[in-house]
Structure 1
Amino acid sequence: MLSRSSLVLALLTCFAFTTMAAAGRIEQKSFMKKSYAGSRDRQYQVFVPSGYTGQSPVPMVMVLHGCGQTEVNMINETRFKDLAERDNFIVVYPFITSFDPLPQRAPNCWGFFIDEHIHEGAGEVEDLYQMALEVEAAFKIDPNRRYVTGLSSGAGMAVDLAVAHNEYFAAAGSVEGLPYSETSSSVAFLGCNVQGRFKPVSAVVAAMRAEQSKPDEQRPIPIMAIHARNDCKVNVTGSEHIRDSWLDRYGINRAAVATTDCTARGVACTHTKYGLPRRSVVETVLYEGDRGFNSAHYWVGDNSGQFANPNGPSASELQWTFFKGHPFADNPPPSVSITSASATGTSITVTGSAAASAGPLAEVSVRLDGQFPQPQKIASGTTAWTVAFDNLRNNANYLPVAIAKDNDGLTASVTGQAVAVGVPPNNVPPVVAIDNLSIRGDCITLIGSASDTDDQVARVEVQLATRGFKPADLSQGSYQYQECGLPAGTYSTQAQATDVLGAKSAIASGPNANVSDLEVVTANWQVHMNAGRLRVYGARCPSIGFGACDVGFLEIFSANQFNPFPLQRKAASPDWYVHRENIP
């Protein structure tokens, strides 16, 4: 139980945050477990600035909490929300939500040190990437300006994301973080007198190279590492190894191109850049931390908080400035077109052209989709290119797909017309089914299967009632579709699949979904408060003052402490209730 003075302080914090959060809005989201190993249901919150209209693409910054924290700490204790309101970008705040207890880890730690969670295609690193894709499906995000950062274990996971998905994120940040594939032994559990043990940089570089084996993963993703020189929990060696592993992995000169004094609020600080004078690849910000505050292991220079110290250079402002100066590429992506695709016997020759807005193209590659797909081949030439596929299966259709990549790593693709080898049989349409339907609050989720006996399924689309067909997430013969914010009512469900040659399946119908006129959200009081569900209610509510419409905050906190509890309201009503029977 909180003491009376602590409770008063908590209430004052509530009021202050409620006032501060007036600009823009925070949306609470649910991430549904995927089929790959290590995936879990997770919660996350998205800050949408008041200037966002959905008409023009905006940047996206993902901010990851550290051990013992939730996404609420990052909302309150960093300044990304304020910067997003000022400069009009989307901020994503994931919450780890749940995790396997083994190998042993402290509460709410991201598994930056667990092999199952740091590789593309599985675990937490893939869940976070898929979460970013969900945000892109809901909001208009600039693909040239996607960023990720975090604190402590969240910084370690941000580094993991930067390595595992460097083809997706434009740049990354790390505050008191650790290099890729580092072990938990790097964290000092016994205070300032016993430092953690770190892998040699060569082992980190080898792990990075092993993870980045594909041609589109060779781009040196820019990164900024911020660290207290006297951090007793994660030694500054962590950020020094981030720097050194990046320089070695991408062949960057170890000599700094710029060093400046970033001293702020009396805290000594040095900002160093590596790469090219016009565009750095690695930047470090090393400052003198306050060992009297969490052993100098905290988010620096922004708001006060349990894991944040306002004294020093602003980690949020430094990283946002770095991010703004590091889009995925300084130039727009290339263009590519297919001029012709023709068959001779059991061979297909594809020709075309490509161009980059500045500088030469790196390569053009072509693959053939269809019932007997052919792997990607590097074309001969770039601005004018050609590629031949020989010894193809006879009596089949093939669909050419060309991909151009420039020297910045940006890509563009185009799909041509189907080419017949021999006399293919009539194209059999795909088959689709709705296998499972679930309803959570105002969200409907459909999971199903799609297959094609003579071709590949290109896409699956789902329709709820008469809301129009919308694309589902398709992966290895299964698909998932989620739509939230639905008004109360009964929704029929339909799905349709299309193969790569354009044949459509019959429309599959699933069970009806009934969305209640009651919206129910389960979260702890901090999350409810941040979303405006716990706030000051006026005279029309049974409870006057801070809390829910029918119950005051003291009673709510006494019953639930920091544990999650449900609040409910009628759709579109501004008033939230603890007890359903009190809703008029």
Structure 2
Amino acid sequence: MQTISQADMMEATRLTREGRLQEAMALLQGGGALPSSPDGRGTVPDAPAKGGAARPMAPMIDMEPPSARTGGAWSAPRAAARPAGINPAGRPSGEVPPALKGLMDRMAGLGANGGLMSGLPGQSGLAAANAAVSVPPGASFEERVFANAAGSRPYKLYVPAVFSGDPLPLVVMLHGCTQSPDDFAAGTRMNELAEEFGFFVVYPGQTQAANMSRCWNWFNAADQQRDQGEPSLIAGMTRTIMGEFPVDKERVYIAGLSAGGAKAAIMGATYPDLYAAVGVHSGLACGAARDMGSAFAAMKQGGAVAGTRSGLAKAGIPSIVFHGDRDTTVHPVNGDQVVTQAAAGAAHRTEVAQGKSSGGMAFTQTTHRDGSGQAVLEQWVLHGAGHAWSGGSAVGSYTDPRGPDASREMARFFMEHRVPAATVG
């Protein structure tokens, strides 16, 4: 087994933070650092490896658009062409090179001290990972566990005090790296909005056993498939709550931050019969990466995703997207790609509005309306914002209280959408 020296790991970390991703991967895989590319972006598709062989960047997943065969969901092409559980690189699905996994875990774990998610006013960093969440009289916020063939994950369910037995909508909230359900609930204040609007909230929790930094594995091919891996676990939790409580089955929604935002995009793309709308904050489009290497590339400069090919897909799931234009962890172009994939070539009428939050942050809101005039896509570009939940509470980690209230805007957008009764899964 290859041994990675501390010096090599430090150098690989430095190269990665400078965007020289191919060089970092080559160093960790024992090939030595690749020469810098002329454009300075670290993309060296033709750089020679040991022995003079080419070391091209492997192609990223190109998701197939919705069709009658897939039931309206995005899906990975040619899935049947390779043995089950094997990704294009020949490794078991979900398995990544140990050196690259270690680097990504280190990068995700840098947090407020490492600069990946730091420098934002009101941001409280990793100290809030176990933030206490107040529960008003009559409400409950209990921890549970869901398990299926893909494994098990904990989750927390918030039942608002306003629940009286009548059907309510359900919102699924996916936290970011190093966060927890409690931390995410505290930072987004979604429980408070559950009392105001009247809905249940479920917070799936990632474990360190599944990812050392508790990131959702949005970049693994097997974790981007309907009824496989993490999607099956999150959908399973959703359906469990729908079976136990009087959930309005036409009004189930999902949202997330960063890795959780990327996973929310995957869930919306693969379960359009389950979720009526999606909220993606500082995340990436479904299929933006297929493994660790392409994950780094996508985070730095966007991924190669479907949905940009005009005429190949029908309109996707209604989505509301937030992204800071100073985000150095997940490049802002990824927000554009989420919107492009959700639009899927549909002709929308767009409206652009400029505004400023009560905290002084300027933003641009672009609303896409369908032929009936309904807003089916919203994109919020947060000017001067980094990698943090806009308008969140400083009690939670990775929040920027200066920005417009992303939680409130998501809740408002969600309540305007329903899954057609004939397609509810």
Same fold (TM > 0.5): yes
Which residue number corresponds to residue 337 of structure 2? 241
Matched, 1:161 2:267: yes
Which residue number corresponds to residue 510 of structure 1? none
Secondary structure of the 2:411 match is helix
Matched, 1:53 2:164: yes
- Output the CA distance in 2 between the equivalents of 1:135 and 1:52: 14
Secondary structure of the 2:377 match is strand
Task: Report the Cα offset of residue 283 of structure 1.
Answer: 0.9
Q: Is the 8 A contact 2:354 2:362 kept in 1?
A: no
Q: Is the 8 A contact 1:64 1:150 kept in 2?
A: yes
Structure 1, unaligned stretches of length 5 or more? 1-8, 213-217, 291-295, 334-404, 412-584
Write out per-residue CA displacement over residues 323-355 of structure 1, whole angstroms, 9 at most, x where no aligned residue. 0112224xxx4xxxxxxxxxxxxxxxxxxxxxx
Which one has the bigger helix percentage?
Answer: 2
Task: Report the Cα offset of residue 122 of structure 1.
Answer: 0.6
Structure showing greater Rg: 1
Matched, 1:285 2:380: yes
CA RMSD of aligned residues (A): 3.1
Greater relative contact order structure (CA < 8 Å, 6+ sep): 2
* 1:112 to 1:19, Cα distance in 2 relative to 1, 3 A: closer
Which residue number corresponds to residue 78 of structure 1? 188
Write out per-residue CA displacement over residues 504-523 of structure 1, whole angstroms, 9 at most, x where no aligned residue. xxxxxxxxxxxxxxxxxxxx
Which residue number corresponds to residue 151 of structure 2? 40
Matched, 1:230 2:326: yes
How many residue pairs get aligned? The number is: 295
Q: Is the 8 A contact 1:262 1:271 kept in 2?
A: no
Superposition pairs of residues 311-460 of structure 1, within 5 angstroms:
311-329=402-420, 333=421, 405=422, 409=423
Q: TM-score, normalised by structure 2?
A: 0.63
Structure 2, unaligned stretches of length 5 or more? 1-123
Which residue number corresponds to residue 300 of structure 1? 390
Task: Report the Cα offset of residue 223 of structure 1.
Answer: 0.4
Which of 200, 208, 211 is the equivalent residue of 2:304?
200
* 1:18 to 1:110, Cα distance in 2 relative to 1, 3 A: closer
Task: Report the Cα offset of residue 253 of structure 1.
Answer: 2.2
Which residue number corresponds to residue 541 of structure 1? none
Q: TM-score, normalised by structure 1?
A: 0.47
Matched, 1:87 2:192: no
- Output the CA distance in 2 between the equivalents of 1:97 and 1:195: 22
Q: Is the 8 A contact 1:172 1:222 kept in 2?
A: yes
Write out per-residue CA displacement over residues 29-75 of structure 1, whole angstroms, 9 at most, x where no aligned residue. 1112x23xxx1111000000011122x11000000011111112111
- Output the CA distance in 2 between the equivalents of 1:128 and 1:410: 17
Matched, 1:27 2:142: yes
The one-letter amino acid paired with 1:27 is E
- Output the CA distance in 2 between the equivalents of 1:319 and 1:123: 27
Secondary structure of the 1:27 match is strand
- Output the CA distance in 1 between the equivalents of 2:323 and 2:269: 20
Which of 108, 118, 122 is the equivalent residue of 2:228?
122
Segments of 4+ in structure 1 off by > 4 A?
16-23, 98-101, 184-189
- Output the CA distance in 2 between the equivalents of 1:299 and 1:195: 17
Which one has the bigger strand percentage?
Answer: 1
- Output the CA distance in 2 between the equivalents of 1:200 and 1:46: 35
Which residue number corresponds to residue 42 of structure 2? none
* 1:178 to 1:22, Cα distance in 2 relative to 1, 3 A: same
Secondary structure of the 2:320 match is strand
Which residue number corresponds to residue 266 of structure 1? 360
Q: Is the 8 A contact 1:187 1:234 kept in 2?
A: no
* 1:128 to 1:19, Cα distance in 2 relative to 1, 3 A: closer
